Amino acid sequence: MSDQPRRPRDAADLTRRRLVAGTAAAIGLAMLDRGVLGQAAAPPVHSRPLGRSATAVGVRAPNERIQRVVGGALHEISMTPLQDLHGIVTPSDLHYERHHAGVAVIDPHQYTLLIHGMVDRPTVFDLAALKRFPAVSRFHFLECSGNGESAYRNMRRDQSPQLVDGLTSTSEWTGVSVATLLREVGVQPRATWFLAEGGDAGLMARSIPVEKARDDAMIAYAQNGDALRPEQGYPARLLLPGWEGNTNVKWIRRLEFADRPFMTRDETSKYTDPLPNGTARMFSFVMDAKSIITFPAFPATLTDRGWWDVTGLAWSGRGRITRVDVSTNGGQTWSPAVLQQPVLPKCHTRFSFPWKWDGREAVLMSRATDETGYVQPTLAQLRAARGTGTRYHFNNIRAWHVGGDGSVTFRADG
């Protein structure tokens, strides 16, 4: 007699008998349809030989070959495989990266952070000094301001969520509040901006309003319980929750306070967004509400009709996600998805939606709303506001086409 788990003989019939009203019940039945539950006896023993010994650093299971996609002319970007992740936290080694002059190598024993300009007590902090202040830890997403460009122009159907929107990730960040450092150095009342300058070869520099520093800015030195990865700014970076990634200056080495923005190269020739009327958006810091379905999505294929769990991520730089709606008919009608806890401000939020596929073609979309009432726009709405030459903040609705054969491809005309 076989000791393998036994599936129900007719999972579809079982699903229909147990179908009851309510989203939670539907989600559970979707799992039944996919053969997750069975009437098994004792599970099989898969490894009778003695297992291997512990190692100093853990490794993934050999069958888990999850990887980032590396791109850019100088390999200056890598993209998080959103379609392969669970929950909201991105493993540190899969966090997206974007740098402008390579990954800086900084000796933590030589690292310093200078705070000067319009302050009463110009001060140089080393890493040990920063760690003597009370630490704060929070979950926040980061997102490159150019994330999602392929969903706005040059659309290809053979793109996965990783290639469409893989320049965003969520981590638990730990560090010292910038507001604490402001009190330590005595920022003068006339100071309204500060310059954040990195220690990389390009001296990445952005002007930041002081209100953000007093609100929730952090000098982060840890990520997901570990020291920052080199590509995330080791040994310390500026973290500005909800703001475009380039303002979260890595390898932070200097904060200079002043009564006006500094108009650096990185905020004039770069990260200024041309508009169709000939003007440009400057200091467009906040990342707008956005969402993407991560399953089903290319290159997945639905193997049979029945219940499937449509899932994805939503986020907003303005606060919490309050609602995600899903459409299975190309935007003709919408229904609310379930938001998986925790739902945190300026953090990825996982959503799910039970969908019974009847085997016919379908177009799946998701639409996020945040606590300010902002609603993720359609592609047409965003193009009307920003024109075709815009380069940043591509937060339009994404769509996935499900073919009659179950194949799923990208379709960016939501």
Q: How far is CA 113 from CA 25, 252, 334, 408, in A?
A: 54, 7, 50, 49
What pLDDT is recorded for position 15? 41
Cβ-based neighbour number of residue 24 at 10 Å: 10
Measured distance CA(303)–CA(267) in Å, rounded: 48
**For residue 40, what pLDDT band results from cuts at 50, 70 and 90?**
low
- pLDDT band of residue 12 (cuts 50, 70, 90) is very low
Q: What residue has token string 């002007």?
A: 207
Residue 242 or residue 41, greater confidence: 242
HSE (side-chain half, CA atoms, 13 Å) at 301: 5
Query: Within 13 Å, how many C-alpha atoms sit on residue 241's CB side?
Result: 28
| pLDDT score of 232 more than 90 | yes
Between 23-37, 104-118, 293-307, the lowest mean confidence (pLDDT) is in: 23-37
- Beta-bridged to residue 255, according to DSSP, are 115, 196
| Tens digits of residue pLDDT in 387-404 | 988 999 999 999 999 999
Q: Classify 199 as helix, strand or coil.
A: coil
Whether residue 212 is predicted with pLDDT greater than 60 in this model: the reply is: yes
| Structure tokens belonging to residue 324 | 């995600």
Which pair of tokens denotes residue 103? 């990954």
Residues 319-358 pLDDT 10s: 999 999 999 999 999 999 999 999 999 999 999 999 999 9
pTM above the 0.95 mark?
A: no
Mean pLDDT of the chain: 91
**191: which 2 tokens?**
């100071």
Q: Is the pLDDT of residue 28 over 80?
A: no
Of all residues in the chain, the percent with pLDDT exceeding 70 is 89
Q: Please count the CA atoms within 13 angstroms of the CA of 296 that sit on its side-chain side.
A: 25
